C-alpha cells in the first residue's frame, strides 16, 4: 500500500466491486422476472408463480444487501463533501430502492396475479421494515453523531 493511500482504500475498492456485482445481479433478476411474465403462456400456473416468487425474493434480498452495502462506507469516510454529508441524498436513495422493489408488485397486478402480488407485497414490506430498522436507523444515528443536518428532511 502506498504511503498516501487511505487505510480503508482496500475496503472501499472491495465494496465498490460488491456494489457493481449486486447492481448487475439485481438488474438481471428484474429483467428475468419481466421476461418470464411476458413470455409465459400461463403465468397463473402454480409452478410458474413459484418460480417468479423465488426470483422476486432473490431480487428483494439483493436490493436489501445492495442498499446496506451502499450505506456501510459512510462509517469509514473521514471527510465527506458538504453536499453528500446531508441526510437527504441517502433518504432519496432509500425511496428509489423501495419504489424499485414495489414495481414487481405492480407488474404482478398488471398480469392479474393477485395472490402473487399480495405475497410479494408482504415480503417487500418486511424487507423495507428490516431495511429501515437496520440500515436506515444506523445511517440516521451516524448522521446525528456527526452533526449532519437532519432537519433537512422537513
Report residue 112's pLDDT band, with 50, 70 and 90 as the boundaries. very high
Tell me how far the alpha carbon of residue 142 is from its chain's centroid.
19
Do the domain assignments include residue 63? yes
Do the domain assignments include residue 143? yes
Do the domain assignments include residue 72? yes
Segment holding 56, helix H or strand E: helix 46-71
Measured CA distances, 139 to 48, 57, 75, 107, 154 (Å): 38, 25, 8, 31, 17
Summarised one tens digit per residue, pLDDT across range 38-77 is 999 998 899 999 999 999 999 999 999 988 888 777 766 6
* Alpha helices (runs of H) in 72-113, residue ranges in sequence order: 87-110
Q: What does the pLDDT read at residue 73?
A: 73
Domain count, the chain: 1
- Domain of residue 116: give its range: 9-148
Find the mean pLDDT for residues 9-16. Answer: 80
Q: What does the pLDDT read at residue 84?
A: 60
**What is the residue-averaged pLDDT of the chain?**
83
Read off φ and ψ for residue 2, nearest 5 degrees.
-65, 155
Amino acid at each position: 500500500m502506498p504511503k498516501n493511500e487511505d487505510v480503508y482504500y482496500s475496503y472501499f475498492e472491495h465494496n465498490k466491486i460488491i456494489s457493481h456485482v449486486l447492481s448487475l445481479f439485481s438488474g438481471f433478476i428484474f429483467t428475468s422476472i419481466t421476461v418470464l411474465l411476458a413470455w409465459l403462456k400461463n403465468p397463473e400456473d402454480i409452478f410458474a408463480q413459484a418460480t417468479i416468487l423465488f426470483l422476486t425474493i432473490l431480487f428483494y434480498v439483493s436490493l436489501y444487501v445492495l442498499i446496506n452495502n451502499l450505506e456501510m462506507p459512510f462509517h469509514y469516510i473521514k471527510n465527506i463533501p458538504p453536499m453528500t454529508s446531508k441526510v437527504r441524498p441517502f433518504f432519496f436513495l432509500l425511496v428509489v430502492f423501495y419504489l424499485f422493489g414495489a414495481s414487481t408488485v405492480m407488474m404482478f397486478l398488471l398480469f392479474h396475479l393477485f395472490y402473487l402480488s399480495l405475497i410479494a407485497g408482504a415480503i417487500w414490506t418486511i424487507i423495507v421494515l428490516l431495511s429501515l430498522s437496520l440500515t436506515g436507523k444506523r445511517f440516521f444515528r451516524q448522521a446525528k453523531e456527526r452533526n449532519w443536518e437532519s432537519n433537512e428532511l422537513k
